[in-house]
Structure 1
Amino acid sequence: MADIKYYDVILAPVVTEKSMELMGEKKYTFLVHTDATKSQVKEAVEKMFAGTKVKGVNTMNLEGKKKRQRGSMQYGKTAKTKKAIVQLTEESADIEIFQGL
């Protein structure tokens, strides 16, 4: 298991139509470090955003897409990513980054 600090776990919020709909259910979507575990994601969210209590974390590994290099027949792949959907408890405070969106 990798030694990842809590501030290195969450890379960016995911802003899509589906993730915005899930915010009504207190579910927030983040891109996370590929070696991060569910418990590390939970710890990172609770430490980085004051007043939040995590009820559950669902993670998914996303394979890189196959891409062709422009002007030639060489193929490659984009980087693998990992996405986490974090469910907060009912009495938990909302996450502030998503307020202006």
Structure 2
Amino acid sequence: MNQERVFKVLLGPHVTEKAAMAAERNQYVFKVADDATKPEIKVAVQELFGKKVDRVQVLNIKGKTKRSANGLGQRKGYRKAYVTLAAGETLEDFSGAE
């Protein structure tokens, strides 16, 4: 995978209470591109952070349906990835979110 694609796969960290609890179990949550695959996410995390990735789980989050004066509309959905690092590996960048 080329270097340009590595930066387009991971859009940023997904910081929530649930993500902070997952970080205690060595899982980190990222918002990822809609067309990103599990192998691409794994390579991107390994190259950007220099850590060994154990596994990747991906979820598609559907946008909420909202009502307005013009009728029903829908917010944009997104895709997020739970990245589990190998035993003994941690991401220090996420320690502030906990």
TM > 0.5: yes
The structure carrying a bigger helix percent of its residues is 2
**Aligned letter for 1:9?**
V
Which residue number in structure 2 is paired with residue 54 of structure 1? 53
Which residue number in structure 2 is paired with residue 100 of structure 1? 96
Identity across the alignment (%):
36
For residues 14-65 of structure 1, give each alpha carbon's deviation from its aligned partner in whole angstroms, at most 9, with x where no partner exists. 1111111111111001110011000010011001112x10000000111111
For residues 72-93 of structure 1, give each alpha carbon's deviation from its aligned partner in whole angstroms, at most 9, with x where no partner exists. 142211112101000000132x
Which residue number in structure 2 is paired with residue 64 of structure 1? 63
What do you get for the CA RMSD once the two structures are aligned? 1.4
Separation (CA, whole Å) in 1 of partners of 2:91 and 2:35: 23
Match of 1:87 among 84, 87, 90: 84
Which residue number in structure 2 is paired with residue 22 of structure 1? 22
Which residue number in structure 2 is paired with residue 34 of structure 1? 34
Separation (CA, whole Å) in 1 of partners of 2:92 and 2:47: 13
Q: Which runs of 5+ in 1 are unaligned?
A: none
Separation (CA, whole Å) in 2 of partners of 1:26 and 1:97: 13
Runs ≥4 in structure 1, deviation > 3 angstroms? none
Separation (CA, whole Å) in 2 of partners of 1:91 and 1:20: 18
Shift of 1:96: 2.8
Normalised TM-score (structure 2): 0.87
